[in-house]
């Protein structure tokens, strides 16, 4: 389960990057890119606590 969530987290970041490159290439409107970026952000912060270590070893 953790590994799936990890893939989802990084897929969200890649999607954000893809959206901005699409704006750069002129194939996506800036408003759509803003939505992609916000959705990617939400997915990142929802999924990352489940797989990233939350405690350090003292």
Partner 1 sequence: MSTPQKNASLVERLDALYEYDRQPVTEKNLHGWKIFWATFAGEHIAGTEFVIGPLFVMHGCTATDVLLGLLIGNFLAVLSWAFVCAPIAVKTRLTQYWQLRKLGGPWLTVAYSAVFGVIMCVLAGAMLRVSMTSIALPFERFFADPGMTAGILPGWMWIILAVVVGSVIAILAVLGFEGMAIFSKMSAPWMVIVFFIAAIATLPSLGCHSLSDFWHIANEKIWTGQVAQGMGRFTIWHVIGFSWLCNMPQHIGMGDMTILRYAKKWQMGFCSCAGMYLGHYCAWIASGILCAAAIQAGIATDPGPIAYLGAGFTGAICVVVAGWNVASPTLYRAGLALQITTPNWSRWRVTLVVGAVMIVCACIPAIIKHLDLLVTTNALLLVPLGGFIFIDIWLFPKLGLQPNIAEKTGSLISWPAAVAWIAATCFSIAAFIYKDCDPIFPIFLVLPEWAVAVVLYILFSFIQQRSAPVTQTVNA
Enumerate binding residues for partner 1 (CB under 8 A): 13, 16-17, 19-21, 23-26, 30, 33-35, 37-38, 40-41, 44-45, 48-49, 52-58
* Nearer Cβ to partner 1 (8/48): 48
- Whole-angstrom CA distances from 28 to 17, 33, 49 are 12, 7, 31
Answer yes or no: are the C-beta atoms of 2 and 44 closer than 8 Å. Answer: no
Q: Find the shortest distance in angstroms from Cβ 16 to partner 1.
A: 5
Alpha-helix runs per DSSP H in the chain = 2-25, 30-51
Q: Find the shortest distance in angstroms from Cβ 1 to partner 1.
A: 18
């Amino acid at each position: 389960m953790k590994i799936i969530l990890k893939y989802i987290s990084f897929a969200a970041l890649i999607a954000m990057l893809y959206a901005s490159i699409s704006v750069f290439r002129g194939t996506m409107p800036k408003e759509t890119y803003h939505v992609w970026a916000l959705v990617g952000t939400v997915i990142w912060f929802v999924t990352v606590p489940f797989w990233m270590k939350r405690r350090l070893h003292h």
